[in-house]
Structure 1
Amino acid sequence: MSKVQWEISNNEVTDRDTALRRLQEGTTGHVVCARDGACLQSYKEMEGIYHCEIVFKTDSCCPPVFAAPEGVTGKELEALYDRFANGDDFSFVEKEWEPLVAVEYRHRHNIMWFVFLFIAMVVVAVMAYEHGWM
């Protein structure tokens, strides 16, 4: 099995218990568990409820990110981290969790629309000028 790395707010810690205890006791921060290029990460939404996401390793510049559809409890979070660290299959998230669109993809998509609309406006302006409408 590959090495599992635990972090709380970008500081490496030795084990799951330390990371989760510090997340539960703190008011800010996030826990990351990295394995095989993928990571499971979470942060506290409110007391006892956590937001949880998983990022899968791919060759893409924008790897797929999935978020749990609703906040998870502390016990559910512990179970998810245990399963992930043990190398369990997490393919279920592709069906059960919400896919998040990567910021880079949205940004590129918006630029493409802007370029398309700009070119269309230039073409319309040139046609209007040639026909004497301007």
Structure 2
Amino acid sequence: MTLDRLSGLAVAGLGLALLLFVIPDQVEAVDYGWVRPETLPSLAAAALLLLGLMQAATGRGGGGPDRRATARALLYLGYTAAAVWAMGRLGFVWVAPVMVLVLMLWLGERRPLWLAVGAGAVPAAVWVVVAGLLGRGLPG
């Protein structure tokens, strides 16, 4: 079995675990708002399940993992964990714009307009969807 097939099965397993255990256990049922809180996470988890199964069925790559890409992915995972921790301590409004800006710079974006739009508009859009449309609070 190739690595891309294994990674597809791992992603599909994650999507299934989210659908069966995490989302039902961690998302509160509410009787207000026009979008139920579990709708978007369930759609994302179903996409992970479906796309993971597609990758497992059609994968044909060979060889071992790219060490540089693996190290970069682990660094990104650590960065994301640190950002989530900081959001819990300092709040979404303060951490999210900085997090997005650092991520954009890390990925090589250098155009000031795009940096400003990304660091301002993306967190604002998340806030509008979560706080405004779903009526849920964000950290901090």
The two structures have a TM-score, normalised by structure 1, of 0.21
Between the two structures, name the one with larger relative contact order (CA 8 Å, sep ≥ 6). Answer: 2
Which has the larger share of strand?
1
